[in-house]
Structure formats: structure tokens, C-alpha cells
Amino acid sequence: MGMNERVKGRKILITGASSGIGQYLAIHVAQQGGTPIMVARSTDRLRIIADKVEESFGIKAYWYEADLSNDADWKDIIDQICYDHGSIDALINNAGMAVFGYVADTKWKDIESMISINVKSLIRTTHQLLPHFIQQGNGHIVNIASQAGKIATPKSAVYAATKHAVLGFTNALRMEVEDDGVFVTSVNLGPVRTNFFKQADPSGSYERSVDRIMLDPNHVAQVVVQGLFKKQREINLPGWMNSGSKVYSIAPALMEKAMQGQFNKK
């Protein structure tokens, strides 16, 4: 993949930037000459990534410590970011978490965390930066969703609900702002090889069952950064999984029956 010239000199806010896809997004943005503005809870990791970016690409990366599940604090930090940087050119809502398990066995606290991080904070960030994008007549909002936003499977009811919400929000928002010069893209991913599963399924059995099909976070980040400032409805990885989602939307009951063994693998 070549350079994405559109990223050069642009400021890109990335949530959940301290590990997984987020850290690679920051690196690819810097590699293309953009300025990553990174947000996460882990300041140690953010500092290391910022140093690495500066050392490798001669680009200053900025970082902010934030717990996205704390709405009031997060709102203040977004205000601070806007104050510090003037204009932001793109927002990549990458932060997300899961705890896999049957609804009956899931702790309410874990349900609340998934809803507040995957849905509420994503909408909060977008809502706060949107007037700013509309006013400048350009901007790109990229929501890292999931194929779980299209197909729900047992043991991921709440996670799938949050990703269905993200997809619904993204699709409506895209239509709302299309005449304002603002692009909105959803990134629907299958399982990605990151620390995500350490929390989602501490037993490691889900990770083992999907090992062959896991996406590389570096590759995902590269594809996303290539698509920045381009009008693109959605990015689906891996492609074959999205074909499954299309079949599912036409014949859900049939597919649930056919895929029962696969769906219950978590």
C-alpha cells in the first residue's frame, strides 16, 4: 500500500490508542505525515508510543489520559483537546471492550462498561466534535465497529447490541452530514489478534477457536489509514465474513440453524 497524501499535516484523534489497533493507527497516521492525538487510560504505554513515533517519523504525537467510561471527565478532556489543537481533522472511535458470557451469567457492572465505552463515549466524542467538523466543512469520523454489529451470536448479546447501536448511529449520521463535507465510515471487523480477548474471554478458548481467522491489527490499521479522508461507507475485514453478514440479513433463521455450532464456540 502506498502513501495516503490526504493524511499529511492533518490532526487525527484516536481513542483506545495504547494497544491493539489503536497503537498501530497512531503509527500509520504518523508514517503518512499526520499528527496522532492519542487517548487511553494507560499513560505509560501512550508515552512509549509517542516517543517511538517521534523517533521513527520525526512527528510529535500528543496523548491524553482518559477513562472513557467517565462521561463528565471525558467531556472535559475532549474540550481540552480542542482547546490545545484548534482544529481536529478526523476522529477514529477505536476504544471498545467486551466481556463474553451468557446474559444470565454476566455481571451488571460488565454490561454497563460495554455500553458506556462502546456506545455512550463513542456518541459523546462524535457529538462534541461534530459542530466543529460541520463548521470547517470537512472531517472524517471513523467508527471501529464489528461484524457483531451485523450478526449477533450467543455469549455476545450485550457486545453485539453495542455494535448494532454503533452501526445504526453511523449509518444515520452519514446521511445527516453528507452535505456538510463530513465523511462517516464504519469499520466492521472479525476477530483481531489483540489483548481484547484477555478481557472478553479470560479462558482463552474463544481465541483458540478463531485463531486461524484472526486479523492482524497492524494490517487493519493500515487499511483504515489508507481510507482516511475518502468517502467510504464501510470497510469490512475479512471480506468473506461480510458475505456471511449479507446472507444473514436475508435469511437469519436459516443461517442461525446452519451456523449453530460455529456461533456457540465462544
- Using an 8 Å Cβ cutoff, are 217 and 193 in contact? yes
Q: How far is CA 102 from CA 108, 160, 214, in A?
A: 12, 12, 23
Q: Is 248 a catalytic residue?
A: no
Q: How far is Cα 93 from Cα 91, in angstroms, rounded to an integer?
A: 6
Distance, CA of 96 to CA of 234 (rounded, Å): 18
CA distance 158 to 166: 12
Tell me the three cell numbers of residue 233. 461507507
Instruction: Pick the catalytic residue from 64, 83, 102, 159.
Output: 159
3-state secondary structure 161-230: HHHHHHHHHHHHHHHHHHHHCEEEEEEEECCECCCHHHHHCCCCHHHHHCHHHCECHHHHHHHHHHCCCC
- Give the other-Cβ count within 10 Å of 85's Cβ: 14
CA 260-261-266 angle, 5° bins: 105
Distances (CA, A) of 139 to 52, 73, 260: 27, 24, 41
At 21, list the grid cell.
Answer: 489497533
Q: Catalytic amino acids?
A: 159
